[in-house]
Each structure stands twice: as structure tokens, then as C-alpha cells.
Chain A
């Protein structure tokens, strides 16, 4: 069964600290993996998108890694800011186009001053 599992479910960190969010997937065949940030009451916003051949991709303070062999990905946030408080969703695209986007449940991150 195609699944995307994220951990932890929620996380609280202090402003300025780093954190790493995890994503494990069983989607096969695999096309690409995306990380989205979703603020409360808003639609998801894309952070990174990685294909099978990419191991790491950065977007400002966000760095995503991908190990296609172990089917694991991580999102590392550096020097967190209060505005980083949001849900971070790992999404895997299998074959067949966009109707095959498999969403993780997300990690709810709270950054405290």
C-alpha cells in the first residue's frame, strides 16, 4: 500500500534552533518527493521538489534530503524563526500524474521565542 509517514507528529523548538523533520514512504514506483509548508487556515506552499536522482535540495533555510534506496527524506530547518511555525507536509508523487500524489499527515512545528 502506498503510504507516506512523517515524524514527529508535532515539535516545539526555541527560536534560533535547528530541527529536522522525517518522512518515510512506501510509494512505488516513485516519481518525486515534495515538501510543503502549510500555515494554519492556508493552502500548502511548496518548499522543495526532488526527483529520484537528487540527494539534497535547499531553499533558503530549508534543506531537504532524499535517500531513494531507503525511501527516506528529511527536511532540515536552520536558525528557526517564529514564522516557521506551521505544518510541514511530505508529499510523494508516484506514477500516473498528479492524481497519484500521496500526502503525509504532516508535522506541526511550533517555534517559541
Chain B
């Protein structure tokens, strides 16, 4: 099946620093990728829709200046958490699909811990 790879799997950073998370579709092109956040024992919450070659669409309540999304190619989207704070600690997951009729494939997730 199709593979979506996220990197890194986990990261620990100091408060105030920025962290970049990569999401790659390894064997298909994805014009759209999605970024989710998941807190412990809760379901995935959509943060933003990443569109190749254009600005991302953010969900209500998600700060676009804090969570910078870049989708520079058909196989790569990045999420940068800027000026991270402990409350940003969470599990971040991306998903992608070859087209709108195909199931979404999820990355393995990135555990972010801000200390």
C-alpha cells in the first residue's frame, strides 16, 4: 500500500525554539496533505489542510503564524511549530492521498515534547 513517512518520530525541544516536522508521500504524489494533532486518549483533530503551491487552510482556532505549513512539492509538506511552548506538546500526524477518491494514508506521527 501507499506509504506516508513522517520525520522525526519524536523530538524534545526547549521552550521558545522552533521545530520542523516533515511529511512525505513516498510512492505517490499528493496535491493535498492534512495535519492533525492528537492529545492523550483523544481523537485526531484536524489542524490544517496543506495545498501544494498555495497557502494552507487552517481550522478555526489554529494559529497560522504559530503553525507554519509549507507544501513546496507534490511529495513533501512541512509543519513548523514556532516559539514552542509546553502546551504545544502533543502527537502530530499528517495524512495524504493520491486523489480525493482514495483512502487517506497516515504518517507514523511525531511526538513533540516542549520542556
Assembly CA distance A97 to B102 (angstroms)? 11
- Asked if residues B109 and A49 are in contact (CB atoms below 8 Å), the reply is no
Q: How large is the interface on A (under 10, 10 to 19, 20 to 34, 35 or more residues)?
A: 10 to 19
**Which residue in chain B gives the minimum CB-CB distance to A108?**
B41
Instruction: Tell me, yes or no, whether B67 is within 8 Å of chain A by CB.
Output: no
Q: Count contacts on B: residues with CB < 8 A to the other chain.
A: 26
How many residue pairs, one in A and one in B, have C-beta atoms under 8 Å apart? 50
Q: Which residues of A line the B interface, CB within 8 A?
A: 34, 36, 41-46, 49, 89, 97-99, 101, 103-106, 108
Q: A42-B109, A43-B106, A43-B109 are in contact. Are A106 and B57 (CB under 8 A)?
A: no
Residues of B within 8 A of A89 (CB): 43-44
- Asked if residues A101 and B107 are in contact (CB atoms below 8 Å), the reply is no
- Asked if residues B6 and A99 are in contact (CB atoms below 8 Å), the reply is no
Q: How far is the CB of B98 from chain A (nearest CB, A)?
A: 12
Q: How far is the CB of A66 from chain B (nearest CB, A)?
A: 15
- Asked if residues B43 and A34 are in contact (CB atoms below 8 Å), the reply is no
Q: Which residues of B line the A interface, CB within 8 A?
A: 1, 4, 6, 32, 34, 41-46, 49, 57, 91, 93, 95, 97, 100, 103-109, 111
- Asked if residues B106 and A101 are in contact (CB atoms below 8 Å), the reply is no
Residues of A within 8 A of B103 (CB): 34, 46, 49
Q: Which of B6, B43, B107 contacts A103 (CB 8 A)?
A: B43
Assembly CA distance A105 to B41 (angstroms)? 8
User: Given known contacts A44-B106, A98-B49, A106-B43, what 13 new A-B pairs fall within 8 Å (CB)?
Assistant: A34-B103, A41-B109, A42-B108, A43-B4, A44-B44, A46-B103, A89-B44, A98-B32, A98-B97, A98-B104, A99-B46, A99-B49, A101-B104
